[in-house]
Amino acid sequence: MMPTVEVLGAEGKAGTLELKPDVFGVEIRVPLMHQAVTRELNDRRAGTHDTRGRSEVSGGGRKPWRQKGTGRARQGSIRATQWKGGGKPFGPTPRSYAQAMPRSMRREALRVAVAAKIAAGELKVLERVEPSDGKTKTLVTWLGGLGLAAVPTLLVTTSLGAAVVRAARNVPWLTVETPSHVSVYQLLRARQAVFERAALLALEQALSDEAPGALSAESEMHNRSSRTPPRAPRSGHPRRKDVGDRDEPSV
């Protein structure tokens, strides 16, 4: 089934746009989108949290009282974890929350997210973003004239022009992005996604250029560099014959 999206014009609906079924007509896979969103949100975490253990808290170098004969529990330091002001046991330390996800899965998750928006009727297409005076009121009035409500909206344009960025930065419910930087989280978070025609076609072309399973030039170069070259035999010690080796005829 060929996915079709609505094209908006100055007087409302201006037609429809048919997309490639092998790109945006894929099956809606919720677990894949969940994994992509989880990865993106984890990558945003700074991971700079840190707590002090008993070895990092100042003080506590002297035993508070002798081991036996006081009637109290034995203690070795007032900076032990059970004391007030002592170190925190098993506290968080700086770490990275980045998660690895294969490139093919990331591309497929983006296809699925766009397909989910199309299936829900929450993706619209514009011929072009017209307001160019950089005024917020002009942009909001123009979007309202297209029938777009003031709900979380993702506006994807071919390029981030200074006028559009300046006009949209004061609109709390509007996010402006380019096709090369749009993410699964942004698509799923928005109640409606609005693409320029050229931006949507560029995203479609980018997601259909590489065939599944093909290696990029960077990955092929990495694979070549990671291969371990065969070791040469040591001088004076001939290589041991393995099973299946045949003796070469002597000349």
- Tell me the whole-structure pTM to 2 decimals: 0.73
Domain count, the chain: 1
**Structure-derived torsion over alpha carbons of residues 204, 210, 216, 219, reported in degrees to the nearest 10:** 90
| Burial (CB count within 10 angstroms: exposed 0-12, middle 13-18, buried 19+), residue 125 | buried
The answer to whether position 139 is within a domain reads yes
- Measured in degrees and rounded to the nearest 5, phi and psi for residue 17 equal -130, 125
Q: What is the mean pLDDT of residues 65-90?
A: 95
CA 236 – CA 159 distance, rounded (Å): 66
The answer to whether position 121 is within a domain reads yes
pLDDT category at 62 given cuts 50, 70, 90 is very high
Tens of pLDDT along 79-101?
Answer: 999 999 999 999 999 999 999 99
Tens of pLDDT along 120-151?
Answer: 999 999 988 877 788 999 999 999 888 889 99
Could you tell me what percent of the chain has a pLDDT over 70? 80
User: Length of the chain, please?
Assistant: 251
The answer to whether position 144 is within a domain reads yes
The answer to whether position 26 is within a domain reads yes
The predicted structure's pLDDT at residue 130: 78
Residue 250 scores a pLDDT above 60: no
The answer to whether position 202 is within a domain reads yes
Give residue 36's domain range: 4-45+101-208
| DSSP-derived secondary structure for 39-50 | HHHHHT------
Q: What is the CATH number of the domain that holds 12?
A: 3.40.1370.10
The answer to whether position 8 is within a domain reads yes
The answer to whether position 84 is within a domain reads no
The answer to whether position 37 is within a domain reads yes
Which residues sit opposite 126 in a β-bridge? 8, 196
Q: Which residue has the higher pLDDT, 232 or 150?
A: 150
